[in-house]
Amino acid sequence: MSDLLKKAKTVRVNAHAPYSNFKVGAAVRSVDGNDFVGCNVENAAYPEGLCAEAGAIAAMIAAGDRQVKEICIVADSTQLITPCGGCRQKLAEFSETDTVVLVANLSGQSLQRTVGELLPDSFNPDRLGPL
């Protein structure tokens, strides 16, 4: 996971956060062993921004991979940040409940959770019933 942490830290620098000055980087490893990164991209029309996790997942999907094995999220904050509700749902869509989520800050603090711990009883494709 340490190489994912490095990638998340590196991509975080590229974040476009002129309004909040809160840069976030994320690195995803797919079950196929490929790594993808994303950073937050803010927009003057605030709800139109993109979270780092969503960007990394989108890059994974665009490359043809479909399942997250693990993810690392980094922000320069005194308190550790976890994925927002929308990103938790995105992670639930493309991972298993035991998928590892590591959150860290630039001071070296980190916290490890699973997708299931972050979003228990998530809404997933199984809940849709037969299609």
Which residues are part of the catalytic machinery? 53
Nearest to residue 28, comparing CAs of 72, 64, 66? 72
CB-based contact 23:39 (threshold 8 Å)? yes
What is the rounded CA–CA span in Å between residue 107 and residue 117?
A: 24
The token pair that represents 131 in the structure block: 């299609």
Distances in Å between the Cα of 120 and the Cα atoms of 32, 85, 89, 90, 97 are: 25, 12, 10, 13, 8
